[in-house]
Each structure stands twice: as structure tokens, then as C-alpha cells.
Amino acid sequence: MSLEITRPTLVVRQLSDRDTWTYTYLLIDPATRQGVLIDPVREQLERDLGLIRELGVELLYVLETHVHADHVTAAGMIRQQTGAKIVYGAAAGVQAIDVAAEDGSELKFGQYKIKVIATPGHTDGCVSYYVDGMLFSGDALLIHGCGRTDFQQGSADTLYSSVTQKLFTLPDATRLYPAHDYNGRGCSTIGEEKRWNPRLGNGQSREAFVELMNNLDLDLPKKINEAVPANLASGISFDPKRYLHEEFSMSDLYKAWHNLGEDELIVDNRTPEEYEIGHVPGSRNIPFGTEGQSADELKQYKRVYLYCRSGRRAQTAFANLSIMGLNNLVCVGHSGMPQWVLGGFEVES
Ligand SMILES: [Fe+2]
């Protein structure tokens, strides 16, 4: 018997979170060590980062199949640690991500291409990812089951179309890797589900499926009220008290301004009109609401100070940029330009 491997094959690590019965997948191209991570769970952050480090993976993407209601994603924190890009289906409407993937679009890692298949129904923004004979179906199609359709804009009718017209048209041998299995079954195939899935297989009619799904009468997931808003921010919920360890005042900003290094920047988050009237000398005007467009550039600085008039806009800009992965920010959170003027500090206009 020969055990020789003729072609290096895609490495698939199926990782589980037993609290929520969630499967996370780490895919690695052995030739280039480039990889992607699908549906990471916040509680498993250290495990997943450890594995990525140990295996020497250059993580390109964190792929989310949908906005989960049962667990909080680790995507935002993994992006901060690895520089990987966060991908959601475009219809999920999640802010502060890197790729809003359209149906049919492709993502490359190493020698592999991931095809994005929009599979709405469990939620309206659900996508499945197809790569190399494998389908990562999220909660659209589960092993001998499917995701519920009674919240997050779910629709049994839509899910029926997604599964029967898209997923069931893939080759029977396609291996199915779902986001959950509550019985530890790991994986299935499209052929097996077409034959045996009690909800959607064996030629189940649309009417019977909708009737079945609309009468499941399930309890809400325990974490839904925490998980959905947190996942809309890629798992990094903004708590000003956590980030603004100490009160940073306009007098502190004056000291920082006095010794400002080449690699430091002061940003004024007020409107151009307010900025015109008078601002901290040398500060850059990035009006609140547009800060996201400057995120990549602001990342290059060792430190970026934010201020506005009362601290409210600077704090919100601070939150938005933190969610986008910036960890070099200092925010004047409870005062602003009027205190600078009162302090008698130099004003530029
Ligand atoms: Fe779900």
C-alpha cells in the first residue's frame, strides 16, 4: 500500500465551540501557508490564534456566513491581531468590514478560490462559501436540518429557494460543512442531504417546508440580545469606560501638542466650518462621520489624538475607528475646543 500524497491538498481544520455547538473552520493552502478562518467564536479566540501561529498561517480573510444570534464573533479581534480582512455577505449590512461579498464573487488564498453563494432564508444576509469540493453553508443547510427562519428577517420560502435551487444543484459528492451540529456529526454531503434531510430532502415541497418551519415554536437563543448588536460591530462592542482608561483633557492635549512627535497627529472631528473659526494649531480636520475613509492612513501614526467641541463626536469617531482595528487612538472624551480657548492656548484659524 502506498501512502504517498501526489498533490498537496487543502488543509481543513474543523474546530468546535461546545457551548454553542458552533463549528469554526481554518482552511490552509499547504503550498503558500495562506489561509482563511470561517465563523470564529469570541470565547475560542486564544485557541484559534494559537493554532494560526503554530501552523505558520498567513491569515488573509475571516469569513462570516451571517450575523450570528447565538454567539459573538472573534472576527474584529482576529483582524486586530493578524491583519486579516473581514468578509460578510453584502446583504448582511454589517459596518466596518473589509469585504461585502456579492453573490458569485470570488476570494483567493494561495492556489484556491472561494466562491461566495448568497443563501438567504435563515437571515437575509446569509452566504455559503464553496471551495475545492467543499461547501461551508453556515446555518442555511445543516446536517439533516436547516437554520430556523423566525427572526433576523428569516423566511422559510426564501430558504427553500436557496437550498433547492442553489445548494442542491452542486455535485452530490460536495462535502457539507455547516456552522453547527448539535449531535457532533461533523460533516455530510450534498447527495446525502438531498436524499435524507428530513426538512428539505427527498423532494420535500415548498408548501410543506414553509408549513413545517412556521410551526417550529422555538425559544430564542440565549445570547441573541448581546450577540446580534456585538456581531454587527464584528464582535468589538464599544464601551467607552473600557477604552478611555483615564480622562484625557484638553490640558493633557496641550502637553501632547507641545511635544508632538513626527509620528503623531491631532485630529479635529468638528465640521469644516467650526474648524475654520479656530482649531488646535497643526491639527487635521476629519469631520465626524468621515473618519472611516481615513482609517488606513491614521493607522500609520504611532498615536492619533481626537477632539471635537464637547467630546461626543470625538468619542464616537474613536469607537468607529477602534472597531476598524485602530489601537493607536487617544480621545479627549469630555471636553473640547472651548476648554482649549479658555486655557489660553494658541489657536489657529
Ligand atoms: Fe445563525
Distance 183 CA to ligand 1 centre (A): 16
Ligand 1 centroid to 315 CA: how many Å?
A: 32
Residue 201 clears pLDDT 60, i.e. is over it: yes
Distance 123 CA to ligand 1 centre (A): 7
Give yes or no for a contact between 299 and 281, defined as CB atoms under 8 angstroms apart: no
What is the side-by-side order of every strand in the sheet holding 134-138?
Answer: 106-109, 112-118, 127-131, 134-138, 175-178, 188-189
Are 127 and 118 in contact by the 8 Å Cβ rule? The answer is yes
Boundaries of every domain in the chain: 11-232, 240-342
Which helix H or strand E contains 99, and what residues bound it? strand 99-101
Distance 84 CA to ligand 1 centre (A): 23
CA 23 to ligand 1 center in whole angstroms: 12
- C-alpha cell belonging to residue 342: 479658555
Under a CB-based contact definition with an 8 Å cutoff, are residues 128 and 135 in contact? Answer: yes
Query: How many angstroms separate the alpha carbon of residue 275 from the centre of ligand 1?
Result: 45
242 pLDDT band (50/70/90 cuts)? very low
Ligand 1 centroid to 194 CA: how many Å? 21
What's the distance, Cα to Cα, between the start and end of the chain in Å? 81
Q: Which of 19-33, 88-102, 240-254 is predicted least confidently?
A: 240-254
**Is the pLDDT reported for residue 189 higher than 90?**
yes
User: Is 100's pLDDT higher than 70?
Assistant: yes
Distance 332 CA to ligand 1 centre (A): 38
Give distance in angstroms: CA of 346 to centre of ligand 1: 54
Task: Please report the pLDDT score of residue 4 as a whole number.
Answer: 66
Average predicted confidence (pLDDT) for the chain: 91
Q: How far is the CA of 71 from the centre of ligand 1 (A)?
A: 9
Place 240 in a pLDDT band, splitting at 50, 70 and 90: very low
Handedness of CA 112, 117, 122, 123 (dihedral sign): positive
Query: What spacing in Å lies between the alpha carbon of 47 and ligand 1's midpoint?
Result: 22
Distance between Cα 199 and ligand 1 center (Å): 17
What pLDDT score was predicted for residue 219? 86
Residue percentage of the chain with pLDDT more than 90: 73
Residue 188: CB atoms within 10 A of its CB come to 22
CA of 67 to the centre of ligand 1 (A): 7
Q: What percent of the chain has pLDDT over 70?
A: 94
Q: What is the pLDDT of residue 5?
A: 58
Here the cell at position 341 is 480657548
pLDDT of res. 188: 98
Backbone angles phi, psi at 168, to 5 degrees: -75, -5
Mean predicted confidence (pLDDT) in 292-297: 92
Show contacts of 95-104: CB within 8 Å, 24+ apart.
Answer: 95/232, 95/233, 95/323, 96/233, 96/234, 96/292, 96/320, 96/323, 96/324, 97/234, 99/61, 101/127, 103/127
pLDDT, tens digit (0-9, with 9 covering 90-100), for 154-179: 999 999 999 999 999 999 999 999 99
pLDDT of amino acid 108: 97
Q: 87 C-alpha to center of ligand 1: Å?
A: 16
The single-letter DSSP state of residue 259 is T
Lowest mean pLDDT among 188-192, 270-274, 294-298, 325-329: 325-329
Q: In the chain, helix, strand, coil percent, each to 5? A: 30, 25, 45
Kind of pairing between the strands at 145-146 and 175-178 = unpaired
- Examine the pLDDT at 245 and tell me if it is beyond 50: no
- pLDDT-derived band of residue 237, with 50, 70 and 90 as boundaries? low
Q: How far is the CA of 201 from the centre of ligand 1 (A)?
A: 20
- The hierarchical CATH code for the domain 11-232 is 3.60.15.10
Residue 326 predicted with pLDDT over 90: no
Ligand 1: centre distance to CA 41 (Å): 12
Dist. CA 181 → ligand 1 center (Å)? 12
Task: Output the CA 169–ligand 1 centroid distance in Å.
Answer: 23
Instruction: Identify the CATH assignment for 240-342 out of 1.20.120.530, 3.40.50.880, 3.40.250.10, 3.40.1160.10.
Output: 3.40.250.10
Measure 168 CA to ligand 1 centroid, in angstroms.
20
CA of residue 180 to ligand 1 center, whole Å: 9
In whole angstroms, how far apart are CA 273 and each of 192, 269, 284, 289, 334? Answer: 64, 11, 13, 15, 21
H-helix or E-strand containing 25?
strand 22-28
Report the separation in Å between the CA atom of 137 and the middle of ligand 1, taken as the mean of its atom positions.
11
